[in-house]
Every structure is written in structure tokens, then in C-alpha cells.
A and B are shown apart, each in its own frame.
Chain A
Amino acid sequence: DIVLTQSPALAVPLGQRATISCRASQSVSTATYNFMHWYQQRPGQQPKLLIYDASNLASSIPARFSGSGSGTDFTLTINPVQSDDIATYYCQQSRELPLTFGSGTKLEIK
């Protein structure tokens, strides 16, 4: 199975940049696609897709969110961070089965 590693928590001041990383135990990219996706889960809610294929913004997601990376190292950036962004953020790979998620990074406002 492909293991995705995320830092457990991150504290960022309001209005600053948050950078959340995800490292895969093996490459999740091909020559054509990066099979890495990002989700936001607010407390008590279902997850919501933010970024697909590493860098494509999902529908209705504000441009404050962006994604980058390839191979084994990926990043979700939120700039600027707003109070609404308090949530846990998960990466997910779909390069191979089983589909796997990172353990999540909890974003807190400093």
C-alpha cells in the first residue's frame, strides 16, 4: 500500500500563508498525471474536495487554495488563511489500489 505522511498539526496567524505537506512512500505520478488530491474536513462535516490531480482547483473552491508537487512530494497552500479554514486537511492518492489517505493535518489559527 502507498503510505501518505502528513504532519499532525499546523498553527498559522490569520491572513498568513499555510503550507501543508504530504509525502508518499512511492511515486504517485505518471508522465501525464499526478494522482494526488486534497480534501478539507471541518468539524462535524463530511470531507470536501479542494484540489484534484495535485494542482487543479475543484469547483467552487476559492483561489486562496492551491496545490503543487509531483512524484512523492506534494503541497497544499492556503493564502491568506481565514478563520473559515479551521479544519483537518487530508491528501489522498489514486495511483494504485487501495486508495489511501494521509492521516490529516489539523489547521489551527495562531
Chain B
Amino acid sequence: EVQLVESGGGLEQPGRSLKLSCAASGFSFSARDMAWVRQAPPKGLEWVASISPGAVSTYYRDSVKGRFTISRDNAKSILYLQMDSLRSEDTATYYCATLGARHDMDAWGQGTSVSVSS
């Protein structure tokens, strides 16, 4: 069974940093594209970043480019999202997801909540 478990969320001040983790199990993590998706309450879903299986390619939405870094440790089956220079508009629940062949998101974690406020 595919399992994705996010952690690392919390309350942080604007301008500070947080690092999210997503522990994966039940599938061949090193063979899969992965993504982070966020959802600001009570809004809809917003793709944040994606990474290829070998981490050669990474992609970001414009609003996080230069501030967020997606990475992965295939030996440990963990996906990361380093979030620097946090802004209030980054407040959201952050989900990690596996990407299918056409970049559908075929499995999701339960999410971790990030709140950015002074």
C-alpha cells in the first residue's frame, strides 16, 4: 500500500524558513516523479513544485521560485521542501503526491499545516 507521510509544518514568522519532509513507502520511490501541492484554507489546490526521479529536473510555480527548493533522498525514500523567505501567502496545508505518467497525482499524503504570521 502506498503511504506518504508529511511532517515539518508549524507556525513561523515572515522571512524565516521551514523544511517539510514526506516519508514514502509501499512503492518504488526512486522511480517516481514527485510533487508538492498546497491548499490555503478554505481555498482550492495549488501546485508548488515537482521533481524527477533522479532529481535531475525540478520545476516550481513562479511565486515560490528562488525561495523554495524541492529535493529528495532516494536511499531514504524521503521528499523534501525547503521553504525560505516565508510570506503570509505561503500559509496552507502542504501535501506531497506521486505523479503518474501524465502527471496526474495518483497518491497523496494527509498533509502538514504551515502558518506564516508575525
Contacts and interface: CB of A to CB of B under 8 A. Distances in A.
Given A46-B108, A53-B102, A97 B59 contact: yes
B45 A101 contact: yes
B91 interface: no
B103 A58 contact: no
B46 A101 contact: yes
Q: What bracket does the count of chain B residues touching chain A fall in?
A: 20 to 34
B61 A92 contact: no
The contact size tier of chain A is 20 to 34
Interface residues of chain A: helix, strand, loop or mixed (majority): loop
A97 B103 CA distance: 10
Contact of B105 (A45, A47, A59, A100): A47
B100 interface: yes
Interface of B: 35, 37, 44-47, 50, 59, 61-62, 95, 100, 102-111
10 contacts: A35-B102, A37-B104, A39-B45, A47-B37, A47-B45, A49-B108, A52-B104, A92-B104, A100-B47, A101-B46
